[in-house]
Amino acid sequence: MRKYGGIVVAVLLLAGCGGQKSEVSQQDEDREAKALMQGVWVDAETEDMSFRVVGDTIFYADSTSMPAYFKIVGDSLTLSSGTAYAIEKQTAHVFSFRNQNGDLVTYHKADDVEADSLFVQDTKPAAVMTYTHQVKTDSVVSYNGARYHWYIAINPTRYKVVRRTFNDDGMEVENVYYDNIMHISVYNGAQCMYSSDFRKQQFTNMVPATFLEEAVLANMEYSKADAAGLHFNATLCIPDGASCYLVEAVISYKGEMTMKLLEY
């Protein structure tokens, strides 16, 4: 039986499952401790399967969480993101650590063959999620005696946005979402007054870069028509979070577009 305490931080990067790793820490890895980690681990309280360790990679039971490379150096388990956890106890069948809140989390190894067969996340890639509302909307509005027909199309892309969060055990996990491109077209009769795509990079002057990195261009809605033009509201959100930025795009009757931040 071995006991551990303390934290040693080592930053390691994973470019997908089985990807390249950057060597930042010069300390020797505890190969014996990593060997003890191999297999399926079950939450000691809930008896639910939490993760499976194969080689130097952790595969989570949550099908939307990306696999993570890990190392054990000294008294710490360090994930590919650089987040480290102080190991409290490790044996062939028990593993416990302190999560980001300082709570003690304990796992038991599932030794039965059935557990291995039920854990399928390491045989297929983690799911990449889309984050959209209505896909296409349009309407006709009138202002100052003229009629304008506007269209909004929300187009999911293959541009990936990585969001880091914590699972129920307090382990940092990465979820991946596909970003969206919004398209707005405005017509005055048969004349196309405005037509353009909107990508989240266009909002860099109004939304902090750290927020924008994990945010998805989630929605675009028509708001109103007034003397300035037709108003549309773009929503940039961190998926499954409470934080969003609302940015207004105004299309003038000359076909010119301006933007301003409405709220956070």
List, for residues 189-216, the tens digit of each pLDDT value. 999 999 999 999 999 999 999 999 999 9
Instruction: Kindly report the CATH number that applies to the domain delimited by 131-263.
Output: 2.40.128.510
Determine contact, residues 259/249, Cβ cutoff 8 Å: yes
At 19, give phi and psi (nearest 5°). -80, -175
pLDDT at site 244: 92
Determine contact, residues 224/205, Cβ cutoff 8 Å: no
Q: Which two tokens stand for residue 14?
A: 């994973």
Long-range CB contacts for residues 203-208, cutoff 8 Å, separation at least 24: 203/234, 203/236, 203/245, 203/247, 203/259, 206/245, 206/247, 206/259, 206/260, 206/261, 207/236, 207/245, 207/247, 207/261
| Whole-number Cα distances in Å, 124 to 35, 47, 79, 119, 157 | 23, 23, 21, 11, 21
Q: Between vectors from CA 66 to CA 65 and to CA 71, what angle results, nearest 5°?
A: 115
Mean pLDDT, 10 residues at a time, the chain of 264 residues: 37 34 58 93 90 91 86 91 92 93 92 64 63 81 95 91 87 90 95 96 93 92 96 92 89 96 86
Hey, where are the domains in the chain? 2-123, 131-263
Under CATH, to which class is 2-123 assigned? mainly beta
Element holding 127 (H helix, E strand): none
Q: b/e map of 64-100 (b: 16 or more CB within 10 Å)?
A: bbbbbbbbbbbbbbbbbbebbbbbbebeeebbbbbbe
Render pLDDT for 153-195 as a digit per residue (tens, 0 to 9): 998 888 989 888 888 888 899 888 899 999 999 999 999 999 9
Q: Which two tokens stand for residue 158?
A: 């293959």
Q: Do domains 2-123 and 131-263 have the same CATH topology?
A: yes
Q: How far apart are CA 205 and CA 203, in angstroms?
A: 6
> What is 8-25 written as a DSSP string?
-------SSTT-------
pLDDT at site 31: 92
* DSSP 8-class letter at 121: G
Question: In a 3-state reduction of DSSP, which class is residue 200?
Answer: helix
